[in-house]
Amino acid sequence: MVNKWYNIAADLPISLPPPKDPDEGDSRIALLTKILPSALIDQEFSAERWIPIPEEVREAYARVGRPTPYRRAEGLERRLGLKVHIYYKFEGALPVGSHKLNTALAQAYYAKADGAEEIATETGAGQWGMAASLAAALFGLKATVFMTRSSYNSKRQRVVFMKTYGATVYPSPSEVTETGKKFYRPDHPGSLGIAISEAVEYTLRGEKRKYLPGSVLEFVLIHQSVIGLEAVQQMPEEPDYVVGCVGGGSNFGGFAFPMIGMRLRGEGFERTKFLAAESAAAPKLTKGEYKYDFPDAVGVLPLIKMYTLGHDFVPPAVHAAGLRYHGAAPSLSVLRRLGLVDAVAYTQEEVFEAAVAFARSEGIIPAPESSHAIRAALDLAKRLPPGSVIAFNLSGHGLLDVDAYEKAHVA
């Protein structure tokens, strides 16, 4: 069990562009002090390389099953006749089935320490909503979740399980907030940007509430670094490629950043290349613009510099709902800008072909989001020389994504 998180801001070749306020209106940065636990604000702006993990959080990590397995996909290699070694870190082993619990537990702990009695958040496919709901329950907090409407309608099992953990769940856009009413119509698919805005508004309207974000902000990637820190200890051989899928960047950053940091410090991974796999429906790293933009739909939060498709971008209701976000985390965007991270975008059809191959050879049905990383790993395997090593983050299982597999006509 690791006892500290890693912060890549300490090792970046250039300074991380800080959040900033827009030219007009109230200070969005000052708003953060009202909605976020105080420790998270400190971590967001921290330049410290290592941040100690509180003992209570480490105990919670152990309780839910950390460290998670790091495995070689020998069945996949044999099935496809591959001459390379493919490894994967399996975050689907956690109770909610994804990596999201790593930061949810930390954020809920800090919210409780600040005297909060309720947390509010957004969710796309529901992985983050489930993680936040469980974390709130474990630390004795109420939870309110705004879930993108398309996912609320299609991912009914996750809605049920969030409620089982004790959360109140609203489809977004909802009629609960003024933001939701602005966008509301029964057939609106919703977006993470809108759901974020609703969660922030809801937080500000009540007493002893704190807002917990699921991705994009730097402290989220810091908490997720437990994935990569564990993987470095578990690796029997150094990879030629490290791969992860990208929605906002938390699971890719959590897996890859500790290794990128070691490379930047000259401590290993000198020959390793890093590849981010995103959805062609929300291709911020491959087709987005690098600029300051709002992380939410209506501009409640501070501007952050990132690769973005625009905060008003509403992606189609793709099966990989967790990748439907319009922007990428600032640190990931910097690494992409500097050429330290490459990116590739895939369609649903390409992704599910890889997902089925993995399921039939490894026995794990992968989440649609994670299947983007599998697709990228398989494409690399076809062109790399024999003996090459690929490692990817299997950020979640797909056992609650029956609708996605059914619509993809794989069964």
What does the H/E/C string look like for 282-319? CCHHHHCEEEEECCCCCCCCCEEEEEECCCCCCCCCCC
- Same-domain check for residues 286 and 350: yes
Total domains present in the chain: 2
Nearest to 84 by CA among 195, 237, 226, 224: 237
Which amino acid makes up residue 177?
A: T
- Same-domain check for residues 360 and 239: yes
**Residues 244 and 392 sit within 8 Å (Cβ to Cβ):** yes
Domain contains 218: no
Quote the CA–CA distance of 230 and 28 in Å, as a whole number.
35
- Same-domain check for residues 297 and 394: yes
Mean per-residue pLDDT for 49-77?
Answer: 98
Residue scoring higher pLDDT (301 or 304): 304
Mean per-residue pLDDT for 125-137?
Answer: 95
Quote the CA–CA distance of 410 and 398 in Å, as a whole number.
13
- Same-domain check for residues 79 and 146: no
Nearest to 389 by CA among 238, 269, 259, 286: 238
- The chain-wide mean pLDDT, for the chain, equals 94
The alpha carbon dihedral of 227, 228, 233, 239 has a sign of positive
Model confidence band, residue 321 (pLDDT cutoffs 50, 70, 90): low
Model confidence band, residue 64 (pLDDT cutoffs 50, 70, 90): very high
Domain contains 3: no
Residue scoring higher pLDDT (404 or 60): 60
Place of tokens 């994967």: 88
Structure tokens at 292: 């300051």
- Same-domain check for residues 177 and 241: no
Mean per-residue pLDDT for 75-103?
Answer: 97
Structure tokens at 370: 């994670």
- Same-domain check for residues 44 and 145: yes
Domain contains 216: no
Structure tokens at 79: 């099935």
Residue scoring higher pLDDT (295 or 93): 93
pTM of the predicted model as reported, rounded to 2 decimal places: 0.94
Q: Of how many residues is the chain composed? A: 411
Q: Which domain holds residue 368?
A: 65-98+224-407
Is residue 410 predicted with pLDDT exceeding 90? Answer: no
Q: Which of 211, 232, 261 finishes a domain?
A: 211
Is residue 316 predicted with pLDDT exceeding 80? Answer: no
Quote the CA–CA distance of 233 and 392 in Å, as a whole number.
15
The H or E element spanning position 122 is strand 118-123
Model confidence band, residue 216 (pLDDT cutoffs 50, 70, 90): confident
**Residues 253 and 11 sit within 8 Å (Cβ to Cβ):** no
Quote the CA–CA distance of 374 and 354 in Å, as a whole number.
6
* Each residue's pLDDT tens digit, 166-191: 999 999 999 999 999 999 998 898 88
Domain contains 5: no
Quote the CA–CA distance of 221 and 247 in Å, as a whole number.
12
Domain contains 118: yes
pLDDT value for 209: 98
- Same-domain check for residues 313 and 177: no
Mean per-residue pLDDT for 241-255?
Answer: 96
Domain contains 7: no
Cα 139 versus chain centre, distance = 22
Least reliable range by pLDDT among 78-82, 282-286, 407-411 = 407-411
* Each residue's pLDDT tens digit, 323-350: 878 899 999 999 999 999 999 999 988 9
Q: Which of 211, 238, 269 finishes a domain?
A: 211
Q: What is the CATH number of the domain that holds 117?
A: 3.40.50.1100
Model confidence band, residue 317 (pLDDT cutoffs 50, 70, 90): low
- Same-domain check for residues 43 and 134: yes
- Same-domain check for residues 47 and 193: yes
C-alpha dist (Å) from residue 57 to 7, 20, 66, 84, 146: 17, 30, 11, 37, 25
Model confidence band, residue 137 (pLDDT cutoffs 50, 70, 90): very high
Least reliable range by pLDDT among 145-154, 172-181, 185-194, 368-377 = 185-194
C-alpha dist (Å) from residue 347 to 50, 321, 368, 376: 37, 13, 11, 12
**Residues 259 and 269 sit within 8 Å (Cβ to Cβ):** yes
- Same-domain check for residues 41 and 93: no
Model confidence band, residue 298 (pLDDT cutoffs 50, 70, 90): confident
Q: What is the DSSP letter of 370?
A: T
pLDDT value for 157: 93
Quote the CA–CA distance of 234 and 220 in Å, as a whole number.
23
Domain contains 374: yes
pLDDT value for 404: 85
Is residue 97 predicted with pLDDT exceeding 90? Answer: yes
Domain contains 15: no
- Same-domain check for residues 278 and 341: yes
C-alpha dist (Å) from residue 260 to 134, 272, 360, 384: 31, 9, 32, 21
- Same-domain check for residues 228 and 294: yes
**Residues 306 and 330 sit within 8 Å (Cβ to Cβ):** yes
Is residue 403 predicted with pLDDT exceeding 80? Answer: yes
